[in-house]
Amino acid sequence: MAIRLGDTAPDFSAETTQGKINFHEWLGDSWGVLFSHPKDFTPVCTTELGYVAKIKPEFDKRNVKVVGLSVDPVDSHNKWEADIAETQGTPVNFPMIGDPERKVSGLYDMIHPNANDTLTVRSVFVIGPDKKVKLSITYPASTGRNFDEILRVIDSLQLTAKHKVATPANWKNGQDVIIGSAVSDEDAKILFPQGWKTVKSYLRILPQPK
- Give residues in contact with ligand BEZ (CB under 6 A): 38-39, 42-45, 141-142
CB of 146 to ligand BEZ, least distance (A): 15
Nearer to ligand BEZ among residue 66 and residue 84 (C-beta): 84
Number of neighbours of residue 105 by Cβ within 10 angstroms: 21
In whole angstroms, the minimum distance from the beta carbon of 39 to ligand BEZ comes to 5
Grouping H, G, I as helix, E, B as strand and the rest as coil, residue 59 is: helix
Q: What is the DSSP letter of 95?
A: -
Point out the residues that are catalytic. Answer: 45
Output 36 or 158, the one with its CB closest to ligand BEZ. Answer: 36
What are the two backbone dihedrals, phi and then psi, of residue 54, each rounded to the nearest 5 degrees? Answer: -65, -40
**Rounded to whole angstroms, how far apart are CA atoms 32 and 193?**
33
Nearer to ligand BEZ, 141 or 150 (CB): 141
Work out how close the CB of 134 gets to ligand BEZ at its nearest, in angstroms, rounded to a whole number: 26
Tell me how far apart the alpha carbons of residues 208 and 53 are, in angstroms, rounded to a whole number. 29
Q: What is the DSSP letter of 26?
A: H
| Least separation in angstroms between CB 17 and ligand BEZ | 18
Between 142 and 170, name the residue whose CB sits nearer to ligand BEZ: 142
Which region, left, alpha or beta, applies to residue 18 given φ > 0 means left and ψ of -120 to 50 means alpha?
A: alpha
